[in-house]
A and B are shown apart, each in its own frame.
Chain A
Amino acid sequence: MKANIEKTFEVNQPIEKVWEFLSNPEKVVTCVPGAKLTEKVDDTHYKGTVSLKFGPVAASYNGQISIDELDDEQHIMKISGKGMDTKGKGSAGMVMDGQLTAKGPDLTEVGYKMEISVSGKLAQFGSRLIVDVSNQLADQFVSSFKAALETAPAPAAEAAAVREEAAAEPKDNAVNVFALIIGVIKAFFGRLFSSKPKQS
């Protein structure tokens, strides 16, 4: 089961600042819903977890993240991740290509493409929702990312604080997909009614 997501958004910060944040997995992970890093293997390899909750069903993935490409000049990156459900109920994988473009001295466009693949329980039960849920998660990422860069004076320190909090309360770190589904359903009906010609 695959989902492809492509998004671009703008951040009111200079490109180098955005790049510094985006290219640092320890920082950027704080914006990924439900994710945290647990171990730095080397400069390009990390271990981490992603927790999702489908109503009463919780899925927690243990995985590896690898930075396959990082071009400081061009501001291009490629990251891949692969994880197994901690209870042996499935697996998930992700490949992401990201690129930054300077739109002004204090304005940067972030563009990324993501291919998410899911196998096992989640693919079985969530197949109809996976694209929409992934999109919702991506939107959450965008707003966290923007918030971290645009409002916080010291994002790294805050990220660390968030991490500590997450470690203390791992349950809260899990993304509640059930809540997201409400958003998905709203989006679905939104699409349905906006595309339907008005009946006379």
Chain B
Amino acid sequence: MIKCKTSREIGGMGHPIKRKEDDRFIQGKGHYVDDIKLPGMLYMDIVRSPFAYAKILSINTEEALKVPGVVAVVTGKDLEKYNLHWMPTLMSDTQMVLPTDTVMYQSQEVAAVIATSKYAARDGREAVMVEYEPMTPVIDPFKALEPDAPVLRTDKEGKTDNHIWHWEAGDREATEKVFASADVVVKEQMHLPRLHVVSIETCGCVADYDKVNNHLTMYMTTQAPHAIRTVIALVAGHVGLTEEKIRVVSPDIGGGFGGKVPVYPGYVIAIAVSFLVGKPVKWIEDRSENLQADSFARDYHITVEMAATREGKILATRFKVLADHGYTDAAANPSKFPTGLFSIGTGSYNYDTAFMEADAVYTNKPPGGVAYRCSFRVTEAVHAIERITDRLAQEIGKDPAVLRLENFIKKEEFPWKSPTGWEYDSGDYHTGLQKAMKVIGYDALRKEQAEKRARGELMGIGISTFTEIVGAGPSRQFDILGIKMFDSAEIRVHPTGKAIARFGTKSQGQGHETTYAQIIAEELGIPAQHIQIEEGDTDTAPYGLGTYASRSTPTAGAAAAVAARKLREKAKKIAAYLLEVSEEDLEWEPGKFYVKGAPEKAKTIQEIVFAAYTNHPPGMEAGFEATHYYDPPNLTFPSGAYICVVDIDRETGEIKVRRFVAIDDCGNIINPMIVQGQVHGGLTQGLAPALYEALVYDEEGNILNGTLMDYLVPTAVESPHWETGHTITPSPHHPIGAKGVGESPTVGAPPAIANAVVDALSHLGVTHIDIPITPPKVWKILKEKGVV
């Protein structure tokens, strides 16, 4: 049971109170970007390249301009006049807004058609004639590094290959030494496929430039409105759009998952067009454009090795990564972390030697990759460590649960310094796994599996015990384009004791309007239902870096708690003044200060706040407001123990997830209903790449599943009934002991499912299958092994 300090009426931390934001969503009154309609608004549609790599010989706009309603067609040459044809990526690479001569991937933006209606814009798009000279594209990232591979980024002076960067962590020599003398070494090569976030709302914007006042209001689907404002100012400052003249509004967002962090060319073109014509311009991409052109996630080729003793004591790990970034490095990572937080990949296990290296390459594919419901490449890292741990168990013939329990970092060993330099704040891995085993009935399942195997039936049990790393991050290490990754909260309590609080983050469904209110309710005793939360308008909210990488609770949530505590200090002074006692004589209980030993002598928070406006102590500043910019001292390290049971049809290779138990530890829980909901959703997003999803390209760079007809997003039928639970190991350094949870399930589920499938086939000698593990893949294996 979760213990609550406040009453349900106050609704502080731990209460599963219903969400405040739901009323508008269930009545069709959500306000998303595509719902915005402004007077005189124009519509933009985008002509896209059919080729993965081609020279543009000509763009003929004549016919398009004849289409009724079409007002303009914008090409790269037009933008070049304003030096707006290229833009920087978050990783300090460069990306085309519109090409002037070459297209680098299929579905890349080639020209924009502006018209008075959506339909006219689409008609115009069809009428634009582009003459291309196709070139042989580089699609395979391994071939991209071969010496005779054509150099793709000829725009970069002096570039002689397709290599982007090299990265290392850990100790190469020490790791080599351990591997050379270890009893057992296991090794697998795996591919984490290119994925798409597929938020049900696609990306889009309404750029509204007011010529008279030289002011831009940019309504857009962004998870980081403040950072976007700064980026726009950096890109367009030279044409007079300086930062005070820019307002970015992120209204309701229909799912983000990392895909709404990058700045896509469509946004920039819309701004440029609005700036030139002085009218609002709406651009909403359709689903196919979204799948084919917006930033992908993952696409890591990983070779992972583990060294151990014969008894199964893990000694060292080694990782080698090839990262396919498409034609530009448009990853959404903190600037100093080209592989994000991949170095968390040493896992939940106690050993002191590891080495990791990664190389990134350019190919003729869309740029990326975004941190898809993942704190920057943690999913890739966790898949590798959890798969190789199972591989070790298989090699030495030990139960994978036992192997894990023997190797876990113990509760009392925290804070624990990882071989790649992280300081894990807290964890209790043994309790988590034991709980998961108990809930699912692990021993009985192993028995059932043995019986079924004897009968020739295929059943597998897979475990994943992951450590996440979220809440970027401490300013000494973490920045995006130089801006430190703090986050902010501003609380204003009105004279009648009701409050409004604003944040630098932006909910895309996480329920901030409810959970932030609960944090403030916990600290101030003002009922959560009377605390209004606002985010996403850069004119009103304090500056912050936004919501992604499970950072909202660790950063902005902490800011809310600290700001509320500042107010509680002020409340204490006012209470002392009103009760005519000294501050030391006062005790706090949620909602009021009372005199020690005389609980009837009390002032409620509402009375105190009223006094702050009507009868504040002499010498004190009036009002009741506080702001805090929270710079976390460390990251937080949530963890989880997941167990999955699969049954495989030996005739068809069909995989059925029979049961899936997820025990998560995200520290103190703000709202168990919302935490559980986040886990459910993340699990389905973990199931997706494990069994269904991957963006597939042919050798010429054609995307073969660029629509939802072919890119298989799990429905309620594929998605099993998730069983969820929790353990609580608070973060010692976080003001409310919370850790963040949104991504854990997406990170932890794929290896649990993959491990279960491999486990079902392990007696046939199968040691690894790349995800997505589709029925044809399994069927082929069964055929090869003579089972079918």
Contact = CB atoms under 8 A, between A and B. Distances in A.
Nearest to B57: A88
Nearest to B702: A123
Nearest to A85: B50
B697 to A, nearest CB: 10
B776 interface: no
Contact of B129 (A87, A120, A123, A124): A87
Nearest to A197: B651
B698 interface: yes
Contacts of A88: 50, 128-132
A125 interface: yes
Interface string B470-487: 000000000000000000
Contact of A121 (B50, B134, B710): B50
Interface in A6-51: none
Contact of A123 (B292, B700, B710): B700
Contact of B50 (A2, A90, A127): A90
B698 A123 contact: yes
A124 B702 contact: yes
A89 interface: yes
Nearest to A123: B702
A4 interface: no
A120 B704 contact: no
A91 B134 contact: yes
B426 interface: no
A1 B50 contact: no
B650 to A, nearest CB: 14
Given A84-B132, A85-B50, A125 B707 contact: yes
Interface in B82-109: 106
The secondary structure that dominates the B interface is loop
Contacts of B130: 88
A198 interface: no
Contact of B704 (A90, A91, A121, A124): A124
Contacts of B292: 124
Given A88-B50, A89-B50, A91-B51, A119 B702 contact: yes
B706 interface: yes
A1 B698 contact: yes
B134 A124 contact: no
A87 B50 CA distance: 10
B307 interface: no
A124 B106 contact: yes
A124 B706 contact: yes
B444 to A, nearest CB: 33
A58 to B, nearest CB: 11
A87 B49 CA distance: 11
A147 B365 CA distance: 46
Contacts of B128: 88
Contact count band on B: 20 to 34
Contacts of B707: 124-125
Interface in A114-134: 117-121, 123-125, 127-128
Nearest to B133: A84
A1 B702 contact: yes
A125 B710 CA distance: 9
B703 interface: yes
Contacts of A120: 50-51, 106, 702
A119 B704 contact: no
A80 B476 CA distance: 62
A89 B707 CA distance: 17
A185 B706 CA distance: 21
A41 to B, nearest CB: 20
Interface string B547-589: 0000000000000000000000000000000000000000000
A84 B130 CA distance: 11
A158 to B, nearest CB: 36
Interface string B39-54: 0000000000011100
Contacts of A124: 50, 106, 292, 702-704, 706-707
Interface string B120-155: 000000101111101000000000000000000000
A84 B55 CA distance: 14
Nearest to B47: A88
B127 to A, nearest CB: 9
A90 B705 CA distance: 17
B495 to A, nearest CB: 60
Contacts of A91: 50-51, 134
A120 B47 CA distance: 13
B704 A1 contact: yes
Contact of B710 (A118, A119, A128): A128
A175 B698 CA distance: 26
A188 to B, nearest CB: 16
Listed residue (B129, B704, B710) with the most chain A CB atoms within 10 angstroms of its CB: B704
Nearest to B703: A124
Contacts of B106: 120, 124
A125 B707 CA distance: 8
Contact of B702 (A85, A87, A127): A127
Interface string A103-120: 000000000000001111
A90 B51 CA distance: 7
B287 to A, nearest CB: 13
Contacts of B710: 127-128
Contacts of A90: 50-51
Contacts of A87: 126, 129
Interface string B695-725: 0001010111111001000000000000000
Contacts of A1: 698, 700, 702, 704
A124 B698 CA distance: 10
A5 to B, nearest CB: 17
Contacts of A125: 707
Contacts of A123: 698, 700, 702, 704
B494 to A, nearest CB: 55
B51 to A, nearest CB: 6
A120 B703 CA distance: 9
B649 to A, nearest CB: 14
A136 B203 CA distance: 39
Listed residue (B128, B698, B705) with the most chain A CB atoms within 10 angstroms of its CB: B698
Listed residue (A85, A88, A125) with the most chain B CB atoms within 10 angstroms of its CB: A88
Contacts of B706: 124
Contacts of B129: 87-88
B138 to A, nearest CB: 15
Given A87-B129, A88-B130, A128-B710, A117 B700 contact: yes
A187 to B, nearest CB: 20
Contacts of B131: 88
Listed residue (A1, A2, A117, A123) with the most chain B CB atoms within 10 angstroms of its CB: A123
Contacts of B704: 1, 123-124, 127
A88 B57 CA distance: 11
Interface in A71-101: 84-85, 87-91
A1 to B, nearest CB: 5
A123 to B, nearest CB: 4
A119 B703 contact: no
A177 B749 CA distance: 42
A195 to B, nearest CB: 12
Given A88-B50, A120-B50, A124-B703, 19 more contacts: A1-B698, A2-B698, A88-B130, A88-B131, A90-B50, A90-B51, A91-B50, A117-B700, A118-B702, A119-B51, A119-B134, A120-B702, A123-B698, A124-B50, A124-B292, A124-B706, A124-B707, A127-B698, A128-B710
**A-B pairs with the 6 shortest C-beta distances?**
A120-B50, A123-B702, A88-B130, A90-B50, A127-B704, A89-B50
Interface of A: 1-2, 84-85, 87-91, 117-121, 123-125, 127-128
Interface of B: 50-52, 106, 126, 128-132, 134, 292, 698, 700, 702-707, 710
21 contacts: A1-B700, A2-B698, A84-B132, A88-B132, A90-B50, A90-B51, A91-B50, A91-B51, A118-B702, A119-B51, A119-B52, A119-B134, A119-B700, A120-B51, A121-B50, A123-B698, A123-B702, A123-B704, A124-B292, A127-B702, A127-B705
